[in-house]
Amino acid sequence: MAVVSKKIPAPDKVKIRTALLSVSDKTGIIELAKALAEQGVRLLSTGGTHKAIAAAGLDVTDVSEVTGFPEIMDGRVKTLHPGVHGGLLAIRDDEDHVAAMKEHGITGIDLSVINLYPFEEVRAAGGDYPTTVENIDIGGPAMIRASAKNHAYVTIVTDPSDYPALIEALGSNDGHTVYAFRQKLAAKAYARTAAYDTAISNWFAEALDIEIPRYRTIGGVLKEEMRYGENPHQSAGFYVTGENRPGVATATLLQGKQLSYNNINDTDGAFELIGEFTADKGPACAIIKHANPCGVATGPTLKDAYLRALACDSTSAFGGIIALNQLLDSETAEEIVKLFTEVIIAPEVSEEAKAIIAKKPNLRLLVTGGLPDPRSRGITAKTVAGGLLVQTRDNGMIEDLDLRVVTKRAPTPTELEDLKFAYKVAKHVKSNAIVYAKEGQTAGIGAGQMSRIDSARIAGLKAEEAAKTMGWAEPMTKGSAVASEAFFPFADGLLSAISAGATAVIQPGGSMRDAEVIAAADEHGVAMVFTGMRHFRH
């Protein structure tokens, strides 16, 4: 027997005699109410829930009859009353509690079925300030928390998906619930109110431009339990926060196996990158492997963009993630299915392309309905031992920066376009990052190295391998633009890029040795542009 207090043990089985039903989401509530009525349970209810149950022909008592007080203030005040909370919080085996119930005419409530005003949905839909505030539930969370605290005697159900389990539990236990069952539902109830309050507090922080609030919580609802995490010995779940941002969390899976932990992580990175290239500027494709781009390109058609992205590193693209910035058409789909691919994500997909992809039943196909706005605000978070690191999303855009030419030679118009393209990609490459680009196509990518010169060398080697694979006369780094997401601390990284064939460079600047790096660029006739904005990515 578990202990309720120092004196009173919790009963294993509790008979459900009175149930309070008060729900915003009425999915399954009539079926549940009928099952409870068949068990002889007295039904209490409020507002719209009461009307729905009564309309179904069931005997149901309005809470106002219990409280002796009508709903007031447009329903804002209806359950915040001792007649309700006394019935939820009373310890049935405590003589003082029982006496207080008898003295004040309070009836015990054994089952609470409660879900909350749709604050998350209203927030995601972009409701205005007054509408969003009006959808903050007060009485619901109070009743949930009261019921969950007193789970020794009260069964609290907050999720319609738990109704069948409740009905089964009552049927197999002669109208009773067991303590272990009540414990699990109480734990879920507190998690629900925590996630609800998190959504509200984070909305307030956004609405009031409070970037670093004193208290910060991250909440979500389980979308699916994963087979495992990054590795098979790790368990994992995919939770969604309710943020209305096109991407893997909000996409529709049209076909394919369940997304893995790594699939979701990589697909998110791929689609955030492709969001840098708006559809009105032309087709673009990004191919991601292990959270880093291995090829990114634009083109006159989506098929061309895909083939150009693939050409950058066709070896690494095997088993990768493909992100597209516009409708996936049949011509592009025909090319993609020639290569083993884990995931395709696009804003839209044509019916013809769907039919082609369907021939590869394990290939996941995700449709988002739009692209993420790279300028929009938001937060990202990661855990550390004993803490949580939270920051605003990196929404810096090359188009918004005041670029400064620091060398004797300015980049040509063509070089400048390639510099901007390379810098957009470098923003999404793990640091240290070096990206070569030429004519709207990545030529070589060096990612995640401990020194910048190693990233420059690796990117150059990748370009040489691509040239051999494609049968080109020389690597695409010859005459390319190169981007570094952070400053060159020494001239050696720049010299490595120049030796690979780069003729123009873009970097944030800000090193103690900027003058040395600029002098090396001038010595080789290379144009260099400073952005003033770093894009570290770890």
The catalytic site residues sit at: 149, 290
In sequence order, what are the residues at sequence separation of 6 or more whose Cβ sits closer than 8 angstroms to the Cβ of residue 300?
Answer: 282, 283
Q: How far is CA 242 from CA 198, 216, 250, in A?
A: 11, 16, 9
Who contacts 361 (Cβ-Cβ below 8 Å, separation ≥6)?
255, 256
Structure tokens at 303: 């098929």
The CA-atom distances, in angstroms, between 212 and each of 208, 299, 538 are 11, 41, 21
Q: What single DSSP character describes residue 476?
A: T
Distance CA 147, CA 20 (A): 11
Nearest CA to 76 among 133, 29, 36?
Answer: 133
Distance from chain centroid for Cα 26: 26
Task: Calculate the alpha carbon distances from 166 to 163, 514, 526 in Å.
Answer: 5, 68, 72
SS3 category, 442: strand
Over the range 45-73, which residues count as b (16 or more CB within 10 Å of their CB) and which as e?
Answer: bbbebbebbbeeeeebebbbebbeeebee
374: tokens are: 């790279």
